[in-house]
Amino acid sequence: MLINNEFNEQKIQSPLQYIWSIFKSKNITVIAMWAVFFLIIVSIFADSILPYSHTLQHPEMRLLPPYWVDGASVNHILGTDDLGRDTLSRLLKGMQLTLLGALLITFSISILGLIIGATASLMKGVKASIMHHFLDALLTIPTLLTAIILIILFGVSYENSLLAVSLSLLPQFIRGIYICIENELNKQHVIALRLDGATNLRLLRYGIFPNIIEPLTTLLNRVFTMAILEITTLGFLGFGANSEQVELGYLISKSLELVYLSPYLALFPGIAIFLIIIVFNIFSEGIRHSVIEGEE
């Protein structure tokens, strides 16, 4: 972690700076990072970027192919669907709902899960074991099934699908966090800090969290990927978005009946889901590897 620059000054980097310098040196992760920023910014400002409203119908231009195919119109770069709605607008809107929804889920799960997981690992006795066995029972049910059951209870809508997905992913995340913290708690530097008279909060802040960044990125990445897949699956099955809220899975399911007439309608949302997942995975894998290298 020592840097010698030309003036022979010794500069000590903090672990975060060191991780960042390793991260910067990897081309593919930096590209993935910019792609992640690009996707997020496009999703946030999708409403202002959209060429047309995603519900605006152009009855005279129906089922247009993308512009590079014969018989296309330059006004609709990615073509139109059976009601003449612009595919690009619908795709961007869909990406907004799916990606931002998944990010929202990841964020809220991480906060809630950290609080619950940390409390659980610092608790002892009956309370802790009741909670663990309750969580273990929840873990046996597949998350998608939990989400579907929850959404039937809440009623079908996009917002409820987000809620259902986050609740279904929460037990896994809590379990993961709990195991990470539990492992750290047995390490000697945490025991030493406890002997210094540190409170639990201080123990978490200085002793534990700086040392669990690596498993934490893996966990968050898994939650994010699962969230994207579950939101789109719920949309595809018709449990999530309605015709107003065109979410990527919903887009695919509506295009399926037209797949022989215009395969592009199902292709583009599929590519979008694929891109989102791969870009975020490369990004988080890059962070994870930098953290591991930084610790060596």
Chain residues in the site for other proteins (CB under 8 A)? 1-2, 12, 15, 187-193, 195-198, 202, 206-207, 210-211, 295
**Closer residue to other proteins (CB): 121 or 232:** 121
Smallest gap from Cβ 5 to other proteins, in A, equals 16
Give the burial class of 36: count Cβ atoms within 10 A of its Cβ; 0-12 exposed, 13-18 middle, 19 or more buried.
Answer: middle
**Closer residue to other proteins (CB): 210 or 238:** 210
Smallest gap from Cβ 191 to other proteins, in A, equals 7
Smallest gap from Cβ 12 to other proteins, in A, equals 5
Smallest gap from Cβ 285 to other proteins, in A, equals 21
Smallest gap from Cβ 119 to other proteins, in A, equals 21
**Closer residue to other proteins (CB): 75 or 129:** 129
Smallest gap from Cβ 58 to other proteins, in A, equals 58
Report the alpha-carbon distance of residue 281 to residue 169 in Å, rounded. Answer: 18
**Closer residue to other proteins (CB): 257 or 295:** 295
**Closer residue to other proteins (CB): 86 or 184:** 184
| Reduced 3-state DSSP string for the chain | CEEECCCCCEEECCHHHHHHHHHHCCHHHHHHHHHHHHHHHHHHCHHHHCCCCCCCCCCCCCCCCCCCCCCCCCCCCCCECCCCCEHHHHHHHHHHHHHHHHHHHHHHHHHHHHHHHHHHHHCCCHHHHHHHHHHHHHHCCCHHHHHHHHHHHHCCCHHHHHHHHHHHHHHHHHHHHHHHHHHHHCCHHHHHHHHCCCCHHHHHHHHHHHHCHHHHHHHHHHHHHHHHHHHHHHHHHCCCCCCCCCCHHHHHHHHHHHCCCCCHHHHHHHHHHHHHHHHHHHHHHHHHHHHHHHHC
**Closer residue to other proteins (CB): 127 or 189:** 189
**Closer residue to other proteins (CB): 154 or 209:** 209
Smallest gap from Cβ 99 to other proteins, in A, equals 32
